[in-house]
Amino acid sequence: MKKLLLLVLALPSLAFAQPAADQAAAMRDAALSGDTLAWELLESLTTEVGPRLAGTEAEGRAREWAVRRLTELGFSNVHVEPFEMEVWVRGEERAEIVAPFPQPLAITALGNSGATPARGIEAEVVHFDSVAALEAAPDETVRGRIVFITHNMQANQDGSGYGPFGAPRRAGPSLASRKGAVGIVIRSIGTDYHRNPHTGVQNWADGVRPIPAGALSIPDAEQLQRILARAGERPVRMRLVLTPRNIGQRQSGNVVAEVPGSDPQAGVIVIGGHLDSWDLGTGAIDNAAGVAITTAAAHRIMQAGQPRRTIRIVLFGAEEVGVFGGTAYFERHRGDGNVVLVVESDFGADRVWRFATNFTPANADLGSRIQALLAPLGIVRGRDRANAGADLGAWATAGVAAVDLNQDGTRYFDYHHTPDDTLDKVDPAQLRQNIAAWTAVLAAAANALEPIAAPGPAPGRKRPKARPLRPHQRRAAPRGP
């Protein structure tokens, strides 16, 4: 009897939370076996809006879609928080080998690429297998040529190749321009073997003249390497036509919706993904999936009765081109003082395999309850500190609590930023597992009776800057679009 009493005293919150935990587990299992809302939203956004490049009329249609759907679903306080941004749009894009082995290559422009004349440019190709090799090369080997950079990215479950092997895209163009190149083509930052090049943003370093910058599909990049090898002493000449342009200031915006909580003092949980997509595909994995996952999970919480904490969904604009929506949201609301937890979904819809938090010891028990709820879904607890994603990362960096639900990224970079990012790449069963995991986490966190404590600024990370970054100010970052 004494023993039992001691046990109960020692685990007060666990004992206390058991009915809530049972309810969360039931909600999780219902989502796993029967969620249809996420798929419906995913199909609706990718079909009825399709590609939705930041700042374009198509992204505007996506906001209208989101406001309509969130309102119909019964969320509260549905509204748009607009912001202005500079918009870059794609033009024609062609590459061909002129000599010694004439043939076309599949290419797409990188974000903020400079433009060639309409007739294109023609120059000799010079190959480097890394940014470091380009950096080390004498300028005269680069001047007047088209730089070609390759890399060795492999598919990893945690997506960790994207940071280091993305350097050719992020740092290559500015470096090539500085050294006098007339253009740059990179091996797409990806892991597939299809002739769909991977676009993605890059930003010119201060004072650097923009040059045409494109990504070859991976089969085409390997073809170019073979052409260079078989050409021997003969120069390999490429003709490049890339005619993107800046169309000036346009409107983008974040769409916000809420499940109001019963206790205004308990703080707000902010969740979300981004509404915009690259223009090449319909943005199913990047990031209609995040829109669908966060909305469907929040809807389940709402349907189960009013939670203690408010859950706020933010569907961000203009993530791909520079995290403009995430930055605008942080700048606008960082002073509100009521955000206690951020959770973001922006890595497709394959199964969640791992989760992480940045909780303080005061929230160890909440972390354990989440761990227990996720274990039946096959989810392990990671040792890394949670840092949210591109859009909500500023909050975690600034010291707000975060939970990361890591999707399996093994095939994510097969499709990422390509024409191939389409609905068929999402597996409905894995999508349901995501909803189950999200529903469990939101149920546990929104109804936790203990406070969710702020862990404080992430060690070793810079404080977020005070103002939204302009494209020319952005730098390479391991986390980002």
97 vs 442 by CB, closer to its own copies: 97
The 405-434 contact track toward its own copies, x by CB under 8 A, reads -------------xxx-xxxx---------
Question: Binders of its own copies among 294-313, rule CB under 8 A?
Answer: none
* Number of residues forming the site for its own copies (CB under 8 A): 35
Q: Tell me whether residue 44 is exposed, middle or buried, using C-beta atoms within 10 angstroms of its C-beta: 0 to 12, 13 to 18, 19 or more.
A: middle
**Applying CB under 8 A, does 106 fall inside the site for its own copies?**
yes
Among 14, 20, 25, 43, binds its own copies (CB under 8 A): 43
| CB 120, min distance to its own copies, A | 16
174 vs 196 by CB, closer to its own copies: 196
177 vs 196 by CB, closer to its own copies: 196
DSSP strand E in 58-212: where? Answer: 76-89, 93-99, 103-105, 107-109, 121-128, 146-149, 183-187
62 vs 297 by CB, closer to its own copies: 62
| CB 465, min distance to its own copies, A | 35
282 vs 295 by CB, closer to its own copies: 282
| CB 194, min distance to its own copies, A | 5
Cα distances from 293 to residues 56, 348, 415, 421, in angstroms, run 24, 10, 19, 17
Q: DSSP secondary structure string, 270-327?
A: EEEEES---SSS--IIIIIHHHHHHHHHHHHHHHT---SSEEEEEEESS-TTT-HHHH
Cα distances from 236 to residues 97, 122, 124, 225, in angstroms, run 7, 10, 6, 10
Cα distances from 376 to residues 82, 232, 380, in angstroms, run 41, 58, 10
166 vs 283 by CB, closer to its own copies: 283
Question: Binders of its own copies among 449-468, rule CB under 8 A?
Answer: none
**Applying CB under 8 A, does 287 fall inside the site for its own copies?**
no
| CB 355, min distance to its own copies, A | 30
Q: For residue 58, which phi and psi values (nearest 5 degrees)?
A: -65, -40
The token duo for 49 is 């809006």
Nearest alpha-carbon partner for 221 in 246, 199, 193, 202: 193
User: Is there a contact between 189 and 418 (Cβ–Cβ < 8 Å)?
Assistant: no
User: Is there a contact between 430 and 353 (Cβ–Cβ < 8 Å)?
Assistant: no
- SS3 annotation, 185-253: EEECCCCCCCCCCCCCECCCCCCCCCCCEEEECHHHHHHHHHHHHHHCCCCCEEEEEECCEEEEEEEEE
Question: Binders of its own copies among 227-246, rule CB under 8 A?
Answer: 227, 230
| CB 103, min distance to its own copies, A | 3
Q: Which residues share a beta bridge with 308?
A: none
User: Is there a contact between 75 and 313 (Cβ–Cβ < 8 Å)?
Assistant: yes
Q: Interacting stretch for its own copies, rule CB under 8 A, among 100-108, 372-380, 384-392, 441-449? A: 100-108
21 vs 106 by CB, closer to its own copies: 106
Task: Say what angle helices 364-374 and 428-447 make with each other, to 10 degrees.
Answer: 150
**Applying CB under 8 A, does 275 fall inside the site for its own copies?**
no
Among 84, 222, 331, 427, binds its own copies (CB under 8 A): 222
| CB 421, min distance to its own copies, A | 9
**Applying CB under 8 A, does 51 fall inside the site for its own copies?**
yes
Peptide bond into 287 cis (omega under 30): yes
| CB 78, min distance to its own copies, A | 22
The 177-196 contact track toward its own copies, x by CB under 8 A, reads ----------------xxxx
User: Is there a contact between 430 and 292 (Cβ–Cβ < 8 Å)?
Assistant: no
| CB 73, min distance to its own copies, A | 18
The 333-352 contact track toward its own copies, x by CB under 8 A, reads --------------------
Q: Which residues share a beta bridge with 253?
A: 82
User: Is there a contact between 215 and 199 (Cβ–Cβ < 8 Å)?
Assistant: yes
| CB 369, min distance to its own copies, A | 39
| CB 408, min distance to its own copies, A | 18
| HSE-up of residue 94 (Cα within 13 Å, Cβ side) | 14
**Applying CB under 8 A, does 91 fall inside the site for its own copies?**
no
| CB 45, min distance to its own copies, A | 11
Contact residues: its own copies, CB under 8 A: 43-44, 46-51, 58, 97, 101-104, 106, 193-196, 218-219, 222-223, 226-227, 230, 281-282, 418-420, 422-425
